[in-house]
């Protein structure tokens, strides 16, 4: 099994390489990847440095180009694909059919991985991508239970990658428009969910209101830490009660391995809301 790790900066890339990642993936500094946040990601020079680092340690480098190319400026996605190939990426992680087709036709030798953002949750969808683009691997959306992942392993035409730790997407990735409904920008179109430029925190009678484009996502008491208003993790009203109607602030952490308590502690420190869940892998979460 290969351990794959994302890196948002050269420093993070270095840490991943030095701490046991078999492959590290990065994105360029624009909306062609699904983690397009201010201050994150790589320009050409940083990507080149990351590659040198990876090669020196025998670690593979992937490039994520996993948002959806807009008809009006699709060139940007093709340029990102050209840059990833020029760099010498060991794989390009893509979601949009246009990106997959461009790479598979122009660079038939370039290994392609299907991004989680493509939302392929079954063997039929995987067969579609394999038939058209000869993908080598697919990253599974965080909506399948472990038995479903197991069944898919038996029926998949390609090798599969699953999430073990990280942010918990409650919705099927690539098929969630909650963010654009409230802000006009979504992971598919601009590579960001609940973008920071729409976020505000306001003090209000000793409470803190966290808003996204004006909509109240959560109201924190003085003794609560006011978290980032990721819109699916807010407290809303339904059926006459106020609760985390979709999901609590939490990160994904599988339970397939027994963790050193010290590691567990460090994972919790970087988890949303300082807590983790095994998410959809466990039927009870669903």
Positions touching other proteins (CB under 8 A) are 68-72, 74, 95-98, 101-102, 118-125, 127-129, 131-132, 142-145, 148, 151, 155, 170-172, 174-178, 180-184, 186, 188-189, 213, 215-217, 219, 232, 234-239, 242-243, 245-247, 280, 283-286
Q: How far apart are CA 264 and CA 134, in angstroms?
A: 38
Instruction: Output DSSP code: residue 44.
Output: H
CB of residue 224 to other proteins, shortest distance in Å: 14
CB of residue 64 to other proteins, shortest distance in Å: 16
* Phi, psi (rounded to 5 degrees) for 68: -105, 125
* Phi, psi (rounded to 5 degrees) for 192: -145, 140
Length of the chain: 286
CB of residue 238 to other proteins, shortest distance in Å: 5
Nearer residue to other proteins within complex by CB, 177 or 263: 177
- Annotate 134-151 with b (16+ C-beta within 10 A) or e (fewer): ebebbbbbbbbbbebeee
Q: How far is CA 69 from CA 110, 132, 141, 229, in A?
A: 19, 18, 20, 27
CB of residue 41 to other proteins, shortest distance in Å: 21
CB of residue 112 to other proteins, shortest distance in Å: 15
Nearer residue to other proteins within complex by CB, 22 or 209: 209
CB of residue 210 to other proteins, shortest distance in Å: 11
First to last CA, the chain: 27
* Phi, psi (rounded to 5 degrees) for 199: -90, 140
Nearer residue to other proteins within complex by CB, 62 or 130: 130
CB of residue 67 to other proteins, shortest distance in Å: 9
Nearer residue to other proteins within complex by CB, 165 or 236: 236
- β-pairing, 241-243 vs 236-238, is antiparallel
Q: How many other C-beta atoms can be found within 10 angstroms of the C-beta atom of residue 256?
A: 9
The helix/strand/coil state of 9 is coil
Q: Please, which residues have CB within 8 angstroms of residue 236's CB and are 6 or more apart in sequence? A: 242, 243, 244, 245, 246
CA angle 153, 177, 103 (to 5 degrees): 55
CB of residue 157 to other proteins, shortest distance in Å: 11
Nearer residue to other proteins within complex by CB, 51 or 113: 113
Nearer residue to other proteins within complex by CB, 20 or 240: 240
Nearer residue to other proteins within complex by CB, 52 or 284: 284
Nearer residue to other proteins within complex by CB, 43 or 122: 122
Q: How far apart are CA 185 and CA 252, in angstroms?
A: 24
């Amino acid at each position: 099994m290969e351990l794959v790790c994302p890196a948002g900066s050269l420093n993070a890339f270095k840490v991943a390489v030095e701490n046991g990642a078999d492959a590290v993936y990065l994105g360029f500094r624009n909306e062609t990847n699904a983690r397009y946040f201010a201050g994150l990601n790589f320009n050409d020079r940083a990507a080149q440095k990351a590659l040198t680092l990876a090669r020196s340690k025998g670690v593979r480098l992937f490039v994520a180009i996993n948002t959806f190319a807009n008809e009006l400026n699709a060139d940007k996605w093709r340029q990102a694909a050209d840059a990833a190939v020029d760099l010498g990426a060991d794989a390009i992680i893509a979601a949009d059919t246009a990106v997959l087709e461009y790479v598979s036709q122009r660079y038939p030798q370039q290994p392609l991985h299907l991004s989680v953002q493509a939302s392929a949750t079954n063997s039929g969808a995987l067969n579609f991508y394999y038939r058209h683009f000869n993908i080598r691997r697919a990253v599974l959306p965080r909506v399948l239970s472990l038995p479903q992942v197991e069944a898919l392993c038996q029926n998949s035409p390609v090798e599969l990658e699953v999430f073990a730790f990280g942010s918990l997407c409650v919705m099927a990735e690539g098929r969630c428009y909650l963010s654009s409904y409230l802000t006009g920008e979504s992971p598919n179109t601009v590579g960001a969910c609940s973008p920071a430029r729409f976020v505000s925190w306001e003090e209000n009678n000793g409470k803190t209101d966290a808003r996204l484009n004006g909509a109240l996502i959560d109201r924190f008491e003085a003794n609560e830490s006011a978290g980032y208003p990721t819109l699916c993790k807010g407290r809303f009203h339904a059926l006459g009660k106020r609760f985390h109607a979709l999901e609590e602030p939490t990160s994904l952490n599988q339970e397939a391995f027994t963790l050193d308590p010290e590691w567990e502690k460090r994972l919790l420190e970087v988890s949303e809301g300082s807590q983790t869940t095994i998410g959809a892998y466990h039927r009870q979460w669903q």
